[in-house]
Amino acid sequence: MTLLRVRDLAVSIGAVRPVAGVGFEIARGETFALLGESGCGKSLTALALMRLLPAAARIERGSVKFAGNELCGFTEAQMRAMRGGRIGMIFQEPGTSLNPVLTVGAQIAEALRQHTGRAATERVVELLAAVGIPEPAQRAAEYPFQMSGGMKQRAMIAMALAGEPELLIADEPTTALDVTIQAQVLDLLRDLQRRRGMALLLITHDLGIVARMADRVGVMRAGRLVEVAKKEDFFRAPAHPYSRELFAALPENLPAPEKSAPAGRPALLAVRDLRVHFPIRRGVFRRTVGHVRAVDGVDLELAAARTLALVGESGCGKTTLGKAILGLQEKTEGAVSLAGRRRTGLVPAQMQMVFQDPFGSLNPRMRIGAIIAEGRADADVDALLAQVGLSAAMKMRYPHEFSGGQRQRIAIARALAVGPQLLICDEPTSALDVSVQAQVLALLVDLQQRLGLAYLFITHNISVVAFLAHEVAVMYLGRIVERGTADEVLRDARHPYTRALLAAVPRIDGQEGERLLAPGDPPSPVHPPAGCHFHPRCPRATARCQADYPATSVLSETHQVRCFFPD
């Protein structure tokens, strides 16, 4: 039975039409995934359904029939009754989407009052419990900033459920969350949907999430729906060329690079017992009362022309580690050696960094040529541009004229200008679309093969790791908990956290491995758990895990893990 029917919906902002005629249907209780890359108009479509478009945008034409009602003809007052009451919506960034000065409970109560007339405290607590928040009564009195990202998103879901909607629109609800938390939230959504018979319009760019959650899929591109299909059909044989492009761009489908450089060569980079501790100051005289142990004793080795992937979720310290190795961040203890010689501080000619945000890593007021030549005034800018696949004519242009992928290439060219042997890549493709990510990854592989560059590749994306890395190190709360070759870690993970991480990634084949191996939230580095850092979330934890931190167990020449039960 059709709950929502959209026909020929078009939205315009000034002279541009970001949504140019979209039509689809959602049945009761069904999950419909709206899939597309950035800028395709999927978020605007969702906002148009709720009539929450930004001030400059208008619905140009189209029909939106919800449970028989034509929403496009509704007055604002009628729409208000719909919003929250029959159609709920949750957004991508829970941090900014919740009012920071009202308690979570107050915000949920507001929604309750609006749609059911009463806002009983028990009902609020009930809702918080229904979304899986532990100690809901206490949480209701907390403010959003006191909650982790995952909990904030759950609270948003609770708020959206207050009016018992028949349709929930979720606009990229897990994009801002860590992989393990994402798995929890997705499970929660599916669970709630089943129990309430709610339809779900899930907006995403991630094929894995589509595989896991959707009943039917719609692929959007440049404001139009290019394909609508049932999930099984879509994954078996995508019909539209664009859909096929999306699949082809997945790292697992990219042609596997020649990981030629053999192991056993002398280490280019050697890190011994690196620690970065930030002091916590309290009191009238700002005395140091403790430390945040962002990096807490890390050993690493990397040979030339090899890639070491550093995997971990937010807060594990991987970015701090990268900056400390580079010399941008002062280290508290430990030694970093390059080509056998100890180094303190920056060594521009040997180590460079590629940053995550393509929009923040280039000075908007400098021309590309000047940016690339910044480290070395006599750099051959034309050759460098050619090396990263851009034309020399782009020298005189400004960063804002380029796309995200192109900007990352420029950033890489800038790093290469000084001729380093080692590139530290801090999540360089996390902010890029899948198709663009494929191009940048291909470029990195090419450069490694041609120039013999070594990469310390920081990421949380497992499929990129599988594509690129020779070796993998998994980081949790400032320490490396497992390391080995890519094969060893990805196919034969021994640490429970690595297993949970791998299981949490939504798989394209739709199969689900062991579920929910890491409940709860990652701990904060200010108050690390005693003993093994992972034990509060570990299904195998024993008393011994609470008492001591496990020493390193050597499983093979290359494979090491820090767990008391590595089998």
Partner 1 sequence: MLAYLIRRLLYALPILIGVNVITFSLFFVVNTPDDVARMQLGAKHVTPAAIEKWKAERGYDKPLFFNPAAAGGAQLTETIFFEKSVRMFMLDFGRADDGRDIAREIRLRMGPSLAVAVPVFVLGLWAAISFALLLVYFRATPLDFAGVVLCVAMMSISGLFYIIGGQWLVAKVWQLVPISGYAGGLAAAQFIVLPVIVSVLAGLGASTRWYRTIFLEEYTKDHVRTARAKGLPERLVLFRHVLRNALIPILTGAVVLIPALFMGSLLIEAFFGIPGLGSYTIDAIHAQDFAVVRAMVFIGSALYIVGLLLTDISYTLADPRIRLQ
Partner 2 sequence: MMFKPVLLWSDALFFLLIAVALASVFYIRRDEHLRLGWRKVGQSRVGMAAATLLLVFVGIALLDSLHYRERLPGPQATYAVEVRSALDALLGGLRSGAEKTYSAPLATHSFAKETLDHDAGRDFPRLRHGGAHLGASAEGWGADVVRRIVQGLGIGLIVWLGLWLAGAPLRRAAPHLAWDAVFVTLLALCLTAGAVALLAQGYHVLGTDKVGQDVLYLTLKSIRTGLLIGTLTTLIMLPAAVFLGLLAGYAGGWIDDLIQYLYTTLNSIPGVLLIAAAVLMMQVVIDTNPEWFATAAERADARFLALCAILGITSWTGLCRLLRGEALKLREMEYVQAARALGVSHARILARHVLPNVMHIVMIAIVMDFSGLVLAEAVLSYVGIGVDPTTISFGTMINSARMELAREPMVWWSLAAAFVFMFALVLAANLFADAVRDAFDPRAVK
**Binding interface with partner 2 (CB under 8 A):** 323, 326-328, 346, 348-349, 351-353, 355-357, 360-366, 374-375, 398, 411, 414-415, 418
Instruction: Answer with the entry of partner 1, partner 2, none that 156 interacts with (C-beta below 5 to 8 A by kind).
Output: partner 1
Nearer to partner 2 by Cβ, of 169 and 338: the residue is: 338
Eight-state DSSP code of residue 538: -
Q: Which of these, 476, 502, 361, lies nearest to 427 by C-alpha position? A: 361
* The two structure tokens encoding residue 226: 């290019």
Residue 327 interacts, among partner 2, partner 1, none and using kind-specific CB cut-offs from 5 to 8 Å, with: partner 2
CB 378 within 8 A of CB 423: no
Nearer to partner 2, 224 or 367 (CB): 367
Q: Cβ 87 to partner 1, closest distance in Å?
A: 9
CB of 423 to partner 2, least distance (A): 11
In the complex, the smallest distance separating the C-beta of residue 25 from partner 1, rounded to whole angstroms, is 22
Closest distance between partner 1 and the C-beta of residue 294, in Å? 19
Q: What angle do CA 246, 252, 255 make, to 5 degrees?
A: 90
Where on the chain is the footprint of partner 1 (CB under 8 A)?
A: 50, 52, 55, 80-85, 88-89, 91, 93, 96-102, 110-111, 114-115, 143, 145-146, 156, 159-160, 162-163, 282-286
Contacted by 328, from partner 1, partner 2, none: CB < 5 to 8 Å by type: partner 2
Q: If we measure between CA atoms, which residue out of 354, 363, 343, 345 comes closest to residue 319? A: 354
Locate 505 and state its tokens.
Answer: 């990634």
Angle, CA of 534, 562 and 533, to the nearest 5°:
20
326 binds, among partner 2, partner 1, none (CB under 5 to 8 A by kind): partner 2
Residue 89 binds which one of partner 2, partner 1, none, with CB within 5 to 8 A depending on kind?
partner 1
Q: How many other C-beta atoms are found inside a 10 Å radius of the C-beta of residue 252?
A: 13
CA angle 407, 371, 364 (to 5 degrees): 65
Question: Cβ of residue 145: shortest distance to partner 1, in angstroms?
Answer: 5
Nearest one of 40, 45, 39 to 6, comparing CA atoms: 45
From partner 1, partner 2, none, interface partner of 360 (C-beta below 5 to 8 A by class): partner 2
- Amino acid identity for residue 159 in this structure: M
Give CA–CA dist 265/248, Å, rounded: 34
Shortest gap between Cβ of 14 and partner 2 (angstroms)?
15
What kind and span of H or E run contains 408? helix 404-416
| Closer by beta carbon to partner 2, 172 or else 426 | 426
Residue (of 162, 213, 164, 205) closest to 189 by Cα position: 213
- Least Å distance, CB 95 to partner 1, is 9
- Looking at the Cβ atoms of 11 and 351, the one nearer to partner 2 is 351
Residue 565's binding partner out of partner 1, partner 2, none, with CB under 5 to 8 Å set by partner kind: none
- DSSP state letters, 354-415: E-S-TTTSS-TTS-HHHHHTTS-TT--HHHHHHHTT--GGGGGS-GGGS-HHHHHHHHHHHH
Look at residue 547 and give the partner it binds from partner 2, partner 1, none, a contact being a CB closer than 5 to 8 Å depending on partner kind: none
The string over 121-147, giving b where at least 16 C-beta atoms fall within 10 Å of a residue's C-beta and e elsewhere, is: eeebbebbebbbbeebeebbebbbeeb
- Partner from partner 2, partner 1, none binding residue 357, C-beta < 5-8 Å depending on class: partner 2
Q: Which residue, 256 or 346, has its beta carbon nearer to partner 2?
A: 346
Q: Coil, helix or strand for 279? A: strand
Minimum CB distance to partner 1 smaller for 208 or for 525:
525
- Residue 115 touches which of partner 2, partner 1, none (CB < 5 to 8 A by kind)? partner 1
> Looking at beta carbons only, is 411 or 469 nearer to partner 2?
411
Binding partner of residue 366 among partner 2, partner 1, none, CB cut-off 5 to 8 Å per kind: partner 2
Min separation Cβ 67 and partner 1, Å: 16
Taking the complex as a whole, how short is the minimal distance between the CB of residue 375 and partner 2, in angstroms? 3
Kindly state the smallest distance separating residue 411's Cβ from partner 2, in Å: 7
Nearest CA to 88 out of 162, 5, 182 is that of: 162
Contacts of 556 (CB under 8 A, 6+ apart): 484, 488
Query: Considering beta carbons, is residue 375 or 529 the nearer one to partner 2?
Result: 375
Q: Cβ of residue 96: shortest distance to partner 1, in angstroms?
A: 4
Sign of the C-alpha dihedral, residues 550, 555, 556, 559? negative
C-beta of 328: minimal distance to partner 2 in Å?
6
Task: Output DSSP code: residue 511.
Answer: -
Strands (E), 67-195: 69-70, 87-90, 167-171
- In single-letter form, the type of residue at position 173 comes to P
| Rounded Cα gap, residues 12 and 539, in angstroms | 51
Nearer to partner 2, 24 or 355 (CB): 355
431 or 501, CB closer to partner 2?
A: 431
Q: Which does 524 bind (CB under 5 to 8 A by kind): partner 1, partner 2, none?
A: none
Are 471 and 484 contacting, i.e. CB atoms less than 8 angstroms apart? yes
Q: How far apart are CA 487 and CA 493, in angstroms?
A: 9
Q: How far is the CB of 357 from partner 2 (least distance, A)?
A: 6
Q: Shortest CA distance to 305 belongs to which of 505, 119, 194, 445?
A: 445
Q: Residue 52 binds which entry of partner 1, partner 2, none, with Cβ cut-offs from 5 to 8 Å by kind? A: partner 1
Nearer to partner 1, 194 or 282 (CB): 282
Report the sign of the C-alpha dihedral through residues 58, 62, 66, 69, in that order.
Answer: positive
What's the rounded Cα separation, in Å, for the pair 340 and 336? Answer: 9
Q: Using the minimum distance from each CB to partner 2, give the nearer residue, 200 or 354.
A: 354
Q: By C-beta, is 114 or 350 nearer to partner 2? A: 350
